[in-house]
Amino acid sequence: MPRFGTLDVAAALADAPQVGELTDAPHWELPEATLMQINWEVADEPSLALTPPACHPSIPPYLSFFAGRYPDSPVGPFTLVQLRLVVRAGIRPRGYCLGAVCDSAEATDALRSNWGYPVVQGEASLSVRHDRVQARAAIGGRDVVIATLTQPETIGGADLMPFDNLHLVRLPDGSGAIVQIDPEYAIHSADRGTPSLVLPDPQALGMRGGISLDLAMVGFTFKADTDSAGALRPRSAPPAFQARRLAAKAPAVFLRTGSPSGCRPRAYGRGCPDRSAHRGVRGARRSCCQQAGCPAVVPSRRLWSPRWAVPGDLIGGDSTSIRCGGLGAARLCTPVADASIVRCRKPR
């Protein structure tokens, strides 16, 4: 049985953002964004203590620093700097956001209340020069992170894989949830380079417990049209393993963002008769409405993972990713009510 995180979720929830009605989250188009990601291996044990019990640590554990400058958004331009711990949930790595700084009060409020970013307002910048890209964040005039990428070399947009975010949030009913935020990226250009990461005040970005940087992995920047994902939608067909784990160990639950367009279009959207349902939905031309009864949606009962889930087994799997047709579409997961209901048969 792979290891799970040991985060004290109840304690962490006290500081977690309070989100409103998840289905009310707006959809933001964020064109012409400049983004930077730096991956950096970290020490094992402290990172395990920051990993939610519903997730596995990555092997090896690593941080994913992520900064974005968004020149155009519904709340005006803003820069967001995040520090994320890479965890495994399903078959893809996810960036569990430890802390973030945003330079816009309006954006900070929206990011916290709509999508659960654990973000505080401060000074944040992302500057692009010929030979380097540098992101800085400060709170109250004190630097908390300086990340630099030097010696950039051009790579293809298909060569990189930005991670989706996971946020620990408090729901209106007082319960907790882990929300997955999965923006889409239309990448215009990308560069890879040598990273450096300075964390004068790691605690300010959620690096509690003495977590320490180990091996620099890689840094890359890219320019892309992206979005805020959209409204959050609970799933009713949980990946069985995670549902069991959630019920047993963690007062947390996965939800997914509402944009359907991440699913592979040919695997998921073909045959949807209700084109009108697509209006106003990002990616609608490539996906289906996902409404109950739509013939284009693969019924969950046809999936293997739930059928084979047996309480007590050392098994798992990300049925959602299978449902969507592959790695590019992995999504999580399930409402609280279903977390205790493992859809399975008894052992023969």
Partner 1 sequence: MRFGVFYELSVPRPWTAESERTVYLNALEQVRVADEMGFHSVWAVEHHFLEEYSHSSAPELFLTACAMQTKQIRVGHGIVICVPEFNHPVKIAERAAVLDILSGGRLEFGTGRSATWTELGGFRANPDTTKNSWDEFVHTIPQMWMQERFGYEGQYFSMPTRAVLPKPYQKPHPPMWVAVSTPGTEMDAADRGMGALGVNFTTFKAQEERVQEYRRRIQNCTPAGAFVNDKLAAANFLFCHEDSAQGVGIGGRMIQNFQYLAGQLDMAKEAYPTTGYPSPGLLAATRRQASSPGEPGQPPEGIAIGNPEQIIRELKKWESVGVDQINFLLNASELIPQEQVLESLRLFGTEVMPHFTEKN
Task: Return residues touching partner 1 (CB under 8 A).
Answer: 1-3, 39, 41, 56, 58-60, 62, 86, 88, 90-93, 155-156, 158-161, 190, 192, 215, 217-218, 220, 241, 298, 302-305, 307-308, 310, 313-318, 322, 326-327, 348
- Cβ atoms of 223 and 54 within 8 Å: the answer is no
Rounded distance between C-alpha atoms, residue 181 and residue 166, angstroms: 6
CA gyration radius, the chain: 20
Nearer to partner 1, 77 or 326 (CB): 326
Burial 24-42 (b: 16+ CB within 10 A, else e): ebebbebeebbbbbbbbbb
CB 185, min distance to partner 1, A: 13
Nearer to partner 1, 25 or 240 (CB): 240
Nearer to partner 1, 12 or 91 (CB): 91
Nearer to partner 1, 246 or 303 (CB): 303
Nearer to partner 1, 88 or 282 (CB): 88
Rounded distance between C-alpha atoms, residue 201 and residue 314, angstroms: 40
- Cβ atoms of 12 and 53 within 8 Å: the answer is no
Environment class of 143 (CB within 10 Å of its CB; exposed 0-12, middle 13-18, buried 19+)? middle
CB 280, min distance to partner 1, A: 30
CB 41, min distance to partner 1, A: 7
- Cβ atoms of 36 and 135 within 8 Å: the answer is yes
CB 302, min distance to partner 1, A: 4
- Number of residues that make up the chain: 348
CB 315, min distance to partner 1, A: 4
If we measure between CA atoms, which residue out of 181, 221, 207 comes closest to residue 37? Answer: 221
Residue type, 111: L
Rounded distance between C-alpha atoms, residue 271 and residue 103, angstroms: 44
Query: End-to-end alpha-carbon separation of the chain, Å?
Result: 22
CB 15, min distance to partner 1, A: 28
CB 178, min distance to partner 1, A: 17
